[in-house]
Amino acid sequence: MEMIKEFDQVVVLEDLPEYELKAGDLGTVVLIHGDHAGYELEIFSADGRTLAVVTVDASQVRPVNHRDILHVRERSA
């Protein structure tokens, strides 16, 4: 598996209702915890506004790849 680095975009693999995130949402890695045990992600809206900064385990994300298709959804208010 490809090593995730700071500022990489990653795909959230499971719903994270405490952050209003759904599987398939994108985040940008802003900090790596330990030896890639987890990551701090910044979540952006489509117009570039920061919606949240969240901490996830490494098992909850994967790198973006060339087969991924972007999709937009509205987040609840």
- The DSSP-derived string for the chain is -PPP-TT-EEEE-S-BGGGTB-TT-EEEEEEEETTTTEEEEEEE-TTS-EEEEEEEEGGGEEE--TT------PPP-
Please report the pLDDT score of residue 2 as a whole number.
Answer: 75
Digit-coded pLDDT (tens) for 42-69: 999 999 999 999 999 999 999 999 999 9
The residue behind tokens 């990551």 is: 39
Structural domains of the chain sorted by starting position, each given as residue range(s) with its CATH number in brackets:
9-61 (2.30.30)
Q: What is the longest distance spanned by two Cα atoms in the chain?
A: 36
Write down how long the chain is. 77
pLDDT band at 76 (very low <50, low <70, confident <90, very high): confident
pTM of the predicted structure, to 2 decimals: 0.92
- Say whether pLDDT at 75 is over 90: no
pLDDT band at 77 (very low <50, low <70, confident <90, very high): low
